[in-house]
Structure 1
Amino acid sequence: MHTFKTSVLSVVASTLVVTMGLVCARPAIAQSTTISPAPAGNESTIEIKLADLNDDNPLINYRKAVIELAMRASGKSYTLTGCQITEASTSDRRFVQLIQAGQYCNLMATSAGGELTRGLETIPFPIYLGGGGIRVLLAHRKSLEAATTLRSLNDLRKFRIGSGSGWVDTSIMQANGLTVVQSSYMNLFEMLKAQRFDFYNRSVFEAVGELENYDPQHQLAVVPDLILYYPSDLFFYTTPGRDDIRDALLDGLRKIQRNGALAELIQNHRSTRNARVALKSGKLRVLALTNERLTPIEREALETYKLDWFR
């Protein structure tokens, strides 16, 4: 089997950064603002307030870039600002509460299939065209040899996988018969270093950047040439009743998918371009999992709007 090329991983490591562990404070409008041209006639400006808009994080910046592309394609006048909260701990639950109220926040991006988002309005379009379901495993360097034995889901069931408490990914892995050790996001890195479980399941867009941020002693590594895949992605969710946001974004997302602008963004954006190269760099072991957590509208969107990430 070919492995991810060392040089490719090095390039990926230089550009991917962590998107978890959102930074929180009292609800406030972020400084970053995008303003489209003034509306024509009686058309009103659509005010989009995105949860955790942070230009210093390439993964959050990707969400902003997608919104801007889509809204320009829709032809609607809009403003894009950020809402951030800072508390002792940050979770999607707090953002969902704010978005349900619709005053400080009215849009967020998070994984499909979550219970929390059932009370929000789904914008049925996967923003990575299915790439959010591509996962890699982090391992302690002492465990990398054991990872070479993984050829099937049954092989993986012999090991313990670290995942966040309450994460959609956790329930997906449990439903597929995997043994999951749960804890908080940051604590899982320390637990992996202490070898309290074998592998940590991460997004292909996040893993190497996280190693740069949270593993300065290089105790951990990405398991080479191994991919977990299940139908999943990030979707935008908005405030119930905000049909203007839902309709404009969905119209624009469909347009940039048809005209190739979204695929071009994925090809060139600093948070996705190197992962795309790595996925095409050699023969991969792909372990497929099922995902029964998706709503019918999320599943249909994933089947309709997709990119072949491995070609």
Structure 2
Amino acid sequence: MKGCCLRLLLLWCLVPACQAVTLFTYRPGETPQDVRTVYTTALLELALEKTRPQYGDFRLASAPAMNTARALAELKKGSHPNFMLKMSYNPELETAGMLRGKLDVDLDIIGYRACFTRTGLLPSLTQVQNLTQLKQFSHGQGSGWVDTQILEANGFNVVSVGQYESLFRMVATGRFDLFCRGINELEGEWRAHRQLPGLAVEPSLLLYYPLPRFFYANPRDADGLKRVEEGVRIALADGSLQRLWLSHYGPSVTFAKPAQRRLFRLTNPMLPPGLLPAEQPRFDPILGDFITPPPLPPTGRQ
């Protein structure tokens, strides 16, 4: 009887249920209304599924809700296992020794910005024809967001705010003039906050500055980041990432009507040359299509 039980146990351990399961942690939205992380979590799951044959099973767990400043602190401390934090390129993270994936997982779309404002300011904003005129208007941004440094480097007055939800209330009540968002975020945020008195989507302006978004990880999670990066490459090569991108971001890009706006190009002085690989795909919202270089080969395990 004991021998039979032992044989059954050995057979059970040959099936996937007995394989090690790797835990990955994702960052949830700051509030129930915050949908910014939905695509990122879905992309993380897609990348892990793509690499299941090579790396085995996985489990996704949510970190506590937190703002960007706290998320960065948790990343540096290594508080959560395989905490994959999607962030804009940040030289401070590089200096702190954090590891960064090589691919812009948002495909350049977050750098195209349309703005929330207050209804009373709409007539003045529709008259803006150049950057000098645009710089007369103040901006609100979140604490810890690199957008603050980018906008200030381009000559804008920026108010930094600790709580994401407060930004919508403050722009609607005139604490600052513009709260500019990636056009992939605009529709979801408008639906979540359009009940705020005085809040409006400015319909005529489009800002652009290069703002690649990468997965960052604590150095102890180098193997986890390597797996995620490999999965992203596979998903780009077979087109599943682009399909996921369109399902999450496409409606908001359409809602923003980027081709009907006046485009103002800004610089991002924090980006070093050669940061992105030559094969990096991107989405051009003016053309309304992906600009896709030759296919990305899988990196393979080393």
Moved more, 59-68 or 280-289: 280-289
Q: Give, as a single letter, the amino acid of the residue that structure 2 aligns with 1:198.
A: D
Q: Hey, what's the Cα distance between the residues in 2 that align with 1:279 and 1:160?
A: 21
Structure-2 change in CA distance of 1:46 and 1:132 (3 Å): same
Corresponding residue SS for 1:224? coil
RMSD value, Cα: 3.0
- Structure 1: stretches of 5+ with no match in the other structure: 1-36
Q: Call closer, same or farther: CA 1:217–1:189 in 2, change over 3 Å.
A: closer
Pair member with larger Rg: 2
Q: Does 1:163 align with 2:166?
A: no
**Corresponding residue number in structure 2 for 1:175:** 153
TM-score normalised per structure 1: 0.74
Q: Which residue of 1 aligns with 2:208?
A: 229
Q: Which residue of 2 aligns with 1:274?
A: 251
Report the count of equivalent residues: 267
Partner of 1:95: 71
Distance 1:248 1:225 in 2: 42
Deviations 1:269-310, CA, capped at 9 Å, x for gaps: 2xx12123235674321111111223557x325982322233
Please report how far the alpha carbon of residue 222 of structure 1 lies from its aligned counterpart in structure 2 after TM superposition. Answer: 0.9
Within 5 Å, which residues of 2 pair with 1:1-311? 38=16, 45-52=21-28, 58-74=35-51, 75=53, 76-85=55-64, 90-105=66-81, 106-113=83-90, 115-116=92-93, 118-119=95-96, 120-184=98-162, 185-269=164-248, 272-278=249-255, 282-295=259-272, 299-301=275-277, 304-310=280-286, 311=288
Q: Which structure is higher in RCO with an 8 Å CA cutoff and minimum separation 6?
A: 1
Distance 2:138 2:30 in 1: 33
What amino acid is aligned across from residue 112 of structure 1 in structure 2?
Answer: Y
Q: Distance in 2 between matches of 1:91 and 1:118?
A: 21
> Cα 1:280–1:266, aligned 2, differ >3 Å: closer, same or farther?
farther
Matching residue of 2:5: none
**Amino acid of the structure 1 residue aligned with 2:280:** T
Give identity over the alignment, percent.
27
Structure 2 unaligned segments of length 5 or more: list them: 1-14, 289-302
Q: Secondary structure at the match of 1:221?
A: strand
What residue is the counterpart of 2:6 in the other structure? Answer: none
Q: CA deviation at 1:134?
A: 1.6
> Is the partner of 1:135 in helix, strand or coil?
strand
Aligned residue for 1:241, secondary structure, equals helix
Q: Please tell me the residue identity of whatever aligns with 2:237.
A: R
